[in-house]
Amino acid sequence: MTNNNLSVISLISIGEHPTSRRPRRAEQDARAVELGLKLAGERLKALYAGTIESPSIEVALRSYLGMGLAEINILNLSDPADATLALAEHLKAERPDMILTGVRAENGESSGMMPYLLAEQLGMSVITSIVEVSSIDKVTQQAEVLQALPRGQRRKLKIKLPFIASVDMAADAPRQSAYGPAMRGKLVMNQLSVQVEDTLRSKWQINEGQKRPKRLKIVKAKTAADRFKAATAKVEGGSGKIVHGSSESAKEILKMLIDEGVL
């Protein structure tokens, strides 16, 4: 489904691989591009605000071009700058019907605030975690979208154009990035009207993510014996319960299913 007079912009960022920490195509942003390509085809515009200092960042940025974009517009910001203002200025001029982006970035603060802040500044509606845009009605200025809920459930929503939507990981996986088009696509530098430094961030202390301790089952035991029991009881993990016989087994399984609340 490609709509001929629909203008869609996908906002893209540089992701970061969870294990190697190398720059890459961000998974959610790539899904936003994928969704945009399905909606607007070749007329999809991609916009990136950030630094392109290192070659590895350029390679990562080009991997979006490899999905079939002809060009990427770049707002070249130095690192601690606030991307929202620059984006908002640029988008005000563009006036797109739809802005697609990932739910949150893969590096930096990754607060997931970007779509909300842009919506506020541009006066657009905002919607989060969509997986699909099922229809767009330019006459009534409404679009029908599917929103991801936990465990694969979906909610159908109608939303007024223009709007900003963040695309969930449950959306269609992005198409493969092809090397040839990626290298031949254009990176278009745009003029920056504003560049505001993110001063708050410089006060933060950023560390490697600590492993969160698993919450223990707290036993508010009143007696020493209870506390002792709680401390020494076999921790979950050893081999589980084994049952024989089909009716016994079925009963036990049912019990577990009900306990876990999946039925």
Q: Which of residues 151-180 bind other proteins (CB under 8 A)?
A: 151-160, 163, 170, 175-180
C-alpha pair distances (Å), 192 with each of 74, 85, 195: 9, 10, 7
Is-cis flag, bond preceding 162, omega within 30? yes
Nearer to other proteins, 21 or 191 (CB): 21
Residues 124-153 that bind other proteins (CB under 8 A): 125-129, 144, 146-153
Residues 181-240 that bind other proteins (CB under 8 A): 181, 183-184, 200, 203-210, 212, 215, 218, 220, 222-223, 225-226, 228-229, 239-240
CB of 209 to other proteins, least distance (A): 5
Q: Sort strands 142-148 and 163-167 into parallel, antiparallel or unpaired.
A: unpaired
H/E stretch holding 25: strand 23-25
CB of 191 to other proteins, least distance (A): 26
Residues 67-86 that bind other proteins (CB under 8 A): 67-68
| C-beta of residue 9 within 8 angstroms of C-beta of residue 94 | yes
Q: Which of residues 107, 135, 140, 193 is near other proteins by CB under 8 A?
A: 107
DSSP 8-state secondary structure symbol assigned to residue 154 = E
Query: Mask of contacts with other proteins, 25-64, x by CB under 8 A?
Result: ----------------------------------------
257 forms part of the interface with other proteins (CB under 8 A): yes
Asked whether the CA dihedral 83, 86, 90, 96 is positive or negative, the reply is positive
Dist CA 199 CA 80 (whole Å)? 8
| C-beta of residue 103 within 8 angstroms of C-beta of residue 166 | yes
Nearer to other proteins, 77 or 122 (CB): 122
